[in-house]
Chains A and B, each alone.
Chain A
Amino acid sequence: MPETTFLDATELELNMGPQHPSTHGVLRVILKLDGEKVLGAECVIGYLHRGVEKIGENRTYQQFVPYVDRLDYCAAVSNGLGYCLAVEKLLNLEAPPRAQVVRVIVTELNRIASHLIWLGTHALDIGAQTPLFYVMREREEVLNIFERYCGARLTTHAFRIGGLQYDLYDRFQEDVKAFCEMFPHKLDEYEELLTGNRIWIGRLKGVGILTAEDCKQYGVTGPLLRAAGVKWDLRKAQPYSGYEQYDFKIPTGENGDTYDRYMVRVEEMRQATRIIRQAVDRIPDGPIMAKVPKVIKPPVGEAYVSIEAPKGELGYFVVSDGSTQPYRVRVRPPSFVNLQALDRMARGSLVADVVAIIGTIDVVLGEVDR
């Protein structure tokens, strides 16, 4: 239990969470208040700690793939992609072209699903109920495609080391195209509800500002960094899975506040749709699996591979001792690192703004606690 020796007569300590709907899972924040004003925010995390990195050391390389889906369970596909790429790096092989294009499509669909969950819950926190129902409707379409593709909706285990387990189902392309046709109009609908909404603007503009300098100091990545005006996206900076072949923009904001992050994420969904549109027309024929031995034993060595997950830079540092099990798997989770900046963002704001700020970081506690 953290000590509370810092209180003086006018100050108040307020405990937010772990059982609190707007903390998006089991996050506990201890707020130090002067009236309504936040003087400091301390995060207490670990309620969902399952020792995933330890489990990784006690499973074979293939067995560990489904476990990483349970980290950021809103973006399970991205987690799996990062880990598969890391092990492929250690094995010094690449997935075949067909697998790479399918990976891009499924990962971008998952980015949309993850951002939709964020949008719905964030709006709900601010007091707008309607968007939640809208976004769930569209997310359902994405999950249906996942279900038809690999049988699972949330923790998909979509990819394997070296490529894919399943080839595409017959109507995959039609389904994805229909989604891409429909989705931008739905995005316009969300924007009609929120973008010019006076309450939305009032609650979000100027709240939880994080400048580009702050972001770099705190190692904050993803939409938070881009909203602060830094045009940086790993898909562009260090492309993987053939992202360099697609034409898309990196949206950025100017003020680094909660409203800019909203705009950045909405635009990211549009760009993701663009990527999917391009990819779905160029799925090449060919194998879906590289030549991977049945028993994976990477040579002794280590590699760090990171991807642009919906929340930011998701990295895997894998150490091999030449056996069938990883000697060490380190997950560099974007949510954990981004959450550290909460104190900086919340200082000086009001208690009600803290709810908006937690929402805007887009934390998933499964990934923070691992």
Chain B
Amino acid sequence: MATTPWESELARLLKEHFGEQISEFSTYLGQNFLVTKPEAVVPILEFLKLEADFDYLVDVTAVDYPQRPERFDLVYIVYSFPRNVRIRMKTRIAEGYKPATAVGVHLTANWLEREVFDMFGIQFSGHPDMRRILLPEEWEGHPLRKDYSIIQVDNRWVKENLGIDSGQ
């Protein structure tokens, strides 16, 4: 990715407060993002909300890179109504790592994190209701992982609940 460094007042402010925890401030195609350590995500969200008016959590999602030791990219997108600015925050986490929930900062995170758990199997610690949201509770596997095939289904669940041998 041909990124250019992101220099702005906001980036300077974040660097001052979080120092080493933020490893990258970049711009790609005119969109600003920062890369941070996973434990710093919630403090940064809180800081952005309280000190910089980033009062709207647009999205929380993940991307799976199975060949990497830290397999998942967690992506947070926040927007500020007063500034009319949107930024993206990325962090890398390994399989089994339980990132802290952002529900305490933005209530939106509740369902968005449940969906990330449903699709990728990333558990958020401290989440008030860490259950699947789109797939059935007893479903095995997390479909948006790269090792989950596009035609794969949970045959046991399908047989028990639908009475057919396979969903395919």
Mark A residues whose CB is within 8 Å of B. Answer: 1, 45-46, 49, 51, 53-55, 57-58, 89-90, 92, 216-219, 230, 232, 237-238, 299-304, 306, 313, 315, 317, 319, 327-328, 330, 332, 336-337, 340, 369-370
Q: In the complex, which residues of chain A have a beta carbon less than 8 angstroms from the beta carbon of B119?
A: 53
Within 8 A of A (CB), among B130-146: 132-137, 143-144
**Assembly CA distance A340 to B57 (angstroms):** 13
Q: Given A217-B106, A219-B106: A304 and B63 within 8 A (CB)?
A: no
Q: How far, in whole Å, are A54 and B88 apart by their CA atoms in the complex? A: 22
A-B pairs with beta carbons under 8 Å apart, 22 shown: A45-B134, A46-B133, A46-B135, A46-B136, A53-B144, A54-B144, A54-B148, A55-B150, A216-B55, A216-B56, A216-B81, A217-B106, A217-B108, A219-B106, A237-B84, A238-B84, A299-B2, A301-B29, A317-B75, A332-B61, A337-B111, A370-B134
Pair A54/B143 contact, Cβ less than 8 Å: yes
- Shortest Cβ distance from residue B97 to the other chain A in the assembled complex, whole angstroms: 19
B107–A217 CB distance below 8 A: yes
Interface residues of B in 77-99 (CB under 8 A from A): 77, 81, 84, 86, 88
B86 touching A340, Cβ below 8 Å: no
Nearest-Cβ distance from residue B152 to partner chain A, whole angstroms: 10
Q: List, in ascending order, chain B residues with CB within 8 A of A58's CB.
A: 150
On B, residues with C-beta under 8 Å from A are 1-2, 28-29, 31, 55-59, 61, 63-64, 75, 77, 81, 84, 86, 88, 106-108, 110-112, 115, 119, 132-137, 143-144, 148, 150
B96 to chain A, nearest CB (A): 21
A332 to B116, CA, bound (A): 12
- Evaluate contact between A219 and B1: CB separation under 8 angstroms: no
A317 near B134 (CB under 8 angstroms)?
no
Taking CB atoms, residues of chain A closer than 8 Å to B135 are: 46, 49
Closest to B151 in A: A58
Of A57, A317, A319, A369, the contact of B59 (CB 8 Å cutoff):
A317
B134 & A369 in contact (Cβ 8 Å cutoff): yes
Q: Are A219 and B58 in contact (CB under 8 A)?
A: yes
Q: What is the distance, in angstroms, from A160's C-beta to the closest C-beta of chain B?
A: 20
Chain A residue numbers with a CB within 8 Å of B107 are 217-219, 340
The answer to whether A337 and B108 have CB atoms under 8 Å apart is yes
Tell me whether chain A's interface is mostly helix, strand or loop, or mixed. mixed
**Nearest CB in chain B: distance from A296 CB, A:** 16
In the complex, number of A-B residue pairs with CB atoms less than 8 Å apart:
92
Closest residue of chain A to B88 (Cβ to Cβ) is A304
Contact partner, B1, options A54, A301, A337, A340, Cβ 8 Å: A301
Whether B31 and A303, one on each chain, are in contact in the complex, defined by CB atoms closer than 8 angstroms, is yes
Contact between A51 and B143 (Cβ–Cβ < 8 Å)? yes
Cross-interface CB contact of B58 among A90, A332, A340, cutoff 8 Å: A332
> What is the distance, in angstroms, from B60's C-beta to the closest C-beta of chain A?
10
Not counting A45-B133, A238-B86, a sample of 4 additional A-B residue pairs whose C-beta atoms are within 8 angstroms of each other reads A217-B108, A304-B88, A315-B58, A330-B61
Cβ-closest chain B residue relative to A91: B29
Whole-angstrom distance between the Cβ of B114 and the nearest chain A Cβ: 10
Q: Which chain A positions have C-beta within 8 A of B84?
A: 237-238
Instruction: Knowing A219-B106, A232-B81, A340-B111 are in contact, say whether A89-B29 is a contact too (CB < 8 A).
Output: yes
Give the residues in chain A near B134, CB-CB below 8 Å.
45-46, 49, 369-370
Which of B59, B75, B119 has the largest count of A CB atoms less than 10 A from its CB?
Answer: B59
Contact present for B31 and A304 (CB under 8 Å): yes
How long is the Cα–Cα vector from A299 to B132 in the complex, in angstroms? 34
Enumerate the 8 nearest inter-chain pairs by beta-carbon distance, A residue then B residue, closest first: A219-B108, A46-B134, A301-B1, A332-B59, A330-B61, A49-B134, A217-B107, A328-B63
User: Which residues of the partner chain B approach A336 to less than 8 Å between Cβ atoms?
Assistant: 111, 115
Let me know if A301 and B56 touch, CB within 8 A. no
Decide: B81 and A230 in contact? CB cutoff 8 A: yes
Q: Could you tell me the distance between the alpha carbons of A303 and B88 in the complex, rounded to whole angstroms?
A: 10
Chain A contacts for B63, CB-based, 8 A: 319, 327-328
Q: How far apart sit A54 and B141, CA to CA, in the bound complex (Å)?
A: 14
Residues of A near B77 (CB, < 8 A) are 304, 315, 317, 332
Query: Within 8 Å CB of B144, what residues of A?
Result: 53-54, 328
In the assembled complex, the CB of B102 is this many whole angstroms from the nearest CB of chain A, namely 11
Q: Roughly how many angstroms separate A332 CA and B79 CA in the complex, as a whole number?
A: 14
Q: How distant is A307 from chain B, measured CB to nearest CB, in Å?
A: 13
Instruction: Name the contact of B28 in the complex, choosing from A219, A302, A337, A369 (C-beta under 8 A).
Output: A302
| Across-interface contacts of B112 in A (CB, < 8 A) | 337
- Do A315 and B108 touch across chains, with their CB atoms under 8 A apart? no
